[in-house]
Structure 1
Amino acid sequence: MGSLQLVHLTYAGSGKPSAQIVFGPELTTIYGASDTGKTFIVRSVEYMLGGAKLTMVPEAEGYTQILLGLLLPDGSPLTLVRRPGTNSTHLHREDLRDLVHRPADTIVNSVHNARSKNSLSVHLMRAMGLDEVLIRKNEAGGTRSLTLTDLVHLSVVTEDRMIAMPSPVLRTGTATTRTAETSVMRFLLTGEGDPSVDTGPNAGQRRVNRGQINLLDQLVIDLSAKLESDETERELKDRLARVKTAIDAQSTALRAADEGHREAVRERMTHARRLAVLDERMAEVSDLLGRFSLLEDQYRSDLERLVMVNEAGSILGYFRVGTCVFCGADPEHQHPGHSQQEATQLHIAVQAEATKTTALLTDLLPTIADLAREQDENARTWQAVKEDLEALDELIAEAEGQLAPLREGLQELLDARSAVERGLELHVRIAELEDKRSRLHGEGAVPATRPAEYIAARVVNDFDSVLQRTLGSWEVPAVDNSGYDQYNAELRAGGRPRAGRGKGVRSVLHSAFTTSLARFCIERDLPHLGFVVLDSPVVTYRQPVKYIPEDPDVPDVRITSTVVDRFYEDMLAFPGQAVIIENGDPPLGVLSEATTYNFTAADGRPGFLP
Structure 2
Amino acid sequence: MSELQLTHLTYCGADRPPAQISFGPELTVIYGTSDTGKSFIVKSIEYMLGGADIALVPESEGYTQILLGLLMPDGSPLTLLRAPDSNSIFLYSADLRDYVTDMPHASVTAVHNARSRNSLSIHLLRELGLDGVLIRKNEAGGTRPLALADLLHMALVTENRMVGDVPPVLRTGAANTRTAELSVMRFLVTGEGDPAVESGPNAGQRRVHKGQVQLLDQLVLDLSSKLRTQENERQLRDRHIRIRTALDEQSAPLRQTNESHREAVDARMETARQLAALDERLTEVSDLLGRFKLLEAQYRSDLERLAMVNEAGSILGYFKVGACPFCGAEREHQQSNHRLEETTQLHTAVEAEAAKTSALLADLLPTISALDDEQTALMNRRVQEQSDIGVWDQIIEELEGGIASLRSDVEGLIEERSVVERELELQARIAELEDKKSRLVGEGAVATTRPTQHIPTATLSDFDSILQQTLNAWQVPAADHAEYDQYYAEIRAGGRKRIERGKGMRSVLHSAFTTSLARFCMDRDLHHLGFVVLDSPVVTYRDPEPNDIDDVELTSTVVDRFYKDMLSFPGQAIIIENGDPPTKVLSEAATYHFTGTTSGRAGFFPTYAH
Q: Does TM-score exceed 0.5, indicating one fold?
A: yes
- In structure 1, the residue matched to 2:76 is 76
2:557 equivalent among 544, 562, 585? 562
**Distance in 1 between the 2:10 and 2:547 partners?**
39
Aligned-partner residue type, residue 104 of structure 1: P
Amino acid at match of 1:538: V
Q: In the alignment, is residue 536 of structure 1 matched against residue 531 of structure 2?
A: no
Q: Specify the code of the residue in structure 2 equivalent to 1:478.
A: A
Partner of 2:415: none
For the pair 1:591 / 2:593, whether they are aligned, the reply is no
Distance 1:472 1:194 in 2: 34
Question: Structure 1 residues 449, 4: CA separation in 2 closer, same or farther (over 3 Å shift)?
Answer: closer
CA distance in 2, matches of 1:532, 1:559: 22
Code of the aligned partner of 2:590 = T
- Alpha-carbon shift at residue 92 of structure 1 (Å): 0.3
Give per-residue Cα distances to partners, 1:59-109, cap 9 Å, x unaligned: 000000000000000000000000000000000001000011001000000
Alignment match, 1:454: 454
Cα distance between partner residues in 2 of 1:49 and 1:158: 14
Structure 2 CA distance for partners of 1:95 and 1:500, relative to 1, 3 Å: same
Aligned partner of 2:605 among 588, 602, 609: 609
Deviations 1:418-477 (A, max 9, x none): xxxxxxxxxxxxxxxxxxxxxxxxxx9xx9999832000000000000000000000000
Distance 1:489 1:450 in 2: 21
Give the match's secondary structure for 1:540. Answer: coil
SS at match of 1:574: coil
The separation in 1 between residues aligned to 2:151 and 2:450, in whole angstroms, is 26
Shift in CA distance, 449/503, structure 1 to aligned 2, threshold 3 Å: farther
Looking at structure 2, the residues matched to 450 and 99 of structure 1 have their Cα atoms a distance apart, in angstroms, of 52
CA distance in 1, matches of 2:30, 2:185: 29
Alignment of 1:37-76 (within 5 A): 37-76=37-76
Structural mapping, 1:287-302, within 5 Å: none
Match of 2:492, SS state, is strand
Contact 2:89/2:110, CA 8 A, preserved across alignment: yes
Instruction: Name the SS for the 1:515 alignment partner.
Output: helix
- What is aligned with 2:112? 112
| Alpha-carbon separation, structure 1, partners of 2:31 and 2:598 | 14
User: What's the CA shift for 1:577?
Assistant: 0.2
1:131 deviates by 0.3
Provide closer, same or farther for how the CA distance between residues 577 and 468 of structure 1 changes in structure 2, counting only shifts above 3 A: same
- The 1-side partners of 2:160 and 2:54 are apart by 14
Q: Work out whether residues 500 and 552 of structure 1, in 8 Å CA contact, stay in contact via their aligned partners in 2.
A: no
State how many pairs are aligned.
358
Query: After superposition, where does 1:156-195 map in structure 2 within 5 Å?
Result: 156-195=156-195
For each residue in 1:28-58, what CA deviation from the matched residue of structure 2 results, as whole angstroms up to 9, or x when unmatched?
0000000000000000000000100100000
Relative to the length of structure 2, the TM-score reads 0.57
Structure 2 counterparts to residues 139-154 of structure 1, below 5 A? 139-154=139-154
Give the letter for the 2:583 counterpart.
L
* Percent of residue pairs bearing the same amino acid type: 69
Q: Which amino acid aligns with 2:503?
A: K
Superposed, which structure 2 residues align to 1:434-453 within 5 Å?
452-453=452-453
Contact 2:59 2:605 in 1 (8 A): yes
Give the Cα separation in 2 of the matches to 1:59 and 1:111.
Answer: 27
State yes or no: 1:579 paired with 2:574. yes
The answer to whether the Cα contact below 8 Å between 1:505 and 1:555 also exists between their aligned partners in 2 is no
The equivalent of 1:134 in structure 2 is 134
How far residue 541 of structure 1 moved from its aligned partner, in angstroms, is: 2.3
Residue in 1 aligned with 2:250?
none
Cα distance per residue 1:186-213 (max 9 Å; x no partner)? 00000000000389xxxxxxxxxxxxxx
For residue 34 of structure 2, what is the aligned residue in structure 1? 34
Tell me, in whole angstroms, the C-alpha distance in 2 between the residues paired with 1:161 and 1:197: 33
Question: What SS is found at the alignment partner of 2:471?
Answer: helix
- Establish whether residue 525 from structure 1 lines up as the match of residue 528 from structure 2: no
Partner residue, 2:504: 504
Q: Contact 2:162–2:537 at 8 Å: present in 1 too?
A: yes
Q: Which amino acid aligns with 1:26?
A: E
Query: Aligned partners of 1:146 and 1:479: how far apart in 2?
Result: 33
Confirm or deny: 8 A CA contact 1:502 1:552 kept in the other structure.
Answer: no
Aligned-pair CA distance for 1:114: 2.3
User: What SS does structure 2 have at the residue aligned with 1:553?
Assistant: coil
SS at match of 1:144: strand
Distance of 1:483 and 1:448 partners within structure 2: 34
Q: Aligned letter for 2:13?
A: G
Matched residue type, 1:608: F
Q: 1:99 to 1:469 in 2, by over 3 A?
A: same
* SS at 2:514 equivalent: helix
Find the aligned partners of 2:190 and 2:32 in 1 and give their Cα distance: 39
Q: Following the alignment from structure 2 to structure 1, what is the Cα–Cα distance between the partners of residues 197 and 113?
A: 22
Find runs of 4+ consecutive structure 1 residues off by over 6 angstroms: 447-451
Q: Distance in 1 between matches of 2:604 and 2:552?
A: 34
Structure 1: gaps spanning 5 or more residues: 200-443, 543-549
> Aligned partners of 1:158 and 1:118: how far apart in 2?
27
Question: Take 2:450 and 2:515, find their aligned partners in 1: how far apart are those partners?
Answer: 29
Assess, with a 3 A threshold, how the Cα gap between structure 1 residues 461 and 583 changes in structure 2: closer, same or farther. same
Distance 1:530 1:88 in 2: 25
> Separation in 1 of the partners of 2:53 and 2:177?
20
Describe the shift of the 1:605–1:3 C-alpha distance in structure 2 as closer, same or farther (beyond 3 A).
same
Aligned match of 1:238: none
1:344-364: CA deviation from partner (whole Å, max 9, x where unpaired): xxxxxxxxxxxxxxxxxxxxx
Measured at CA, do residues 108 and 38 of structure 1 come closer, stay the same or move farther in structure 2, by a change above 3 Å?
same
Deviations 1:284-304 (A, max 9, x none): xxxxxxxxxxxxxxxxxxxxx
Task: Report the counterpart of residue 96 of structure 1 in structure 2.
Answer: 96
3-state SS of 1:81 partner: strand
CA distance in 1, matches of 2:163, 2:94: 37
> 1: CA distance between counterparts of 2:57 and 2:94?
29
Query: CA 1:455 to 1:198, structure 2 compared with 1: closer, same or farther past 3 Å?
Result: farther
Verify the 8 A CA contact 2:87 2:110 in the aligned structure 1.
yes
Distance 1:455 1:448 in 2: 21
Q: Shift of residue 540 of structure 1? A: 1.3
CA distance in 1, matches of 2:589, 2:537: 17
Give the residue type in structure 1 aligned to 2:159: E
| Post-superposition CA distance 1:470-500 (Å, at most 9, x none) | 0000000001100100011110011111000
Q: How does 1:119-268 map to 2 (within 5 A)?
A: 119-197=119-197
How far did 1:122 drift? 0.4
* Other-structure match for 1:346: none
Contact 2:143 2:197 in 1 (8 A): no
Alpha-carbon distance in structure 1 between the residues aligned to 2:488 and 2:145: 23
1:386-437 C-alpha deviation (Å, 9 max, x unpaired): xxxxxxxxxxxxxxxxxxxxxxxxxxxxxxxxxxxxxxxxxxxxxxxxxxxx
Map Cα deviations across residues 109-143 of structure 1 (whole Å, 9 max, x no partner): 01212222100000000000000000000111110
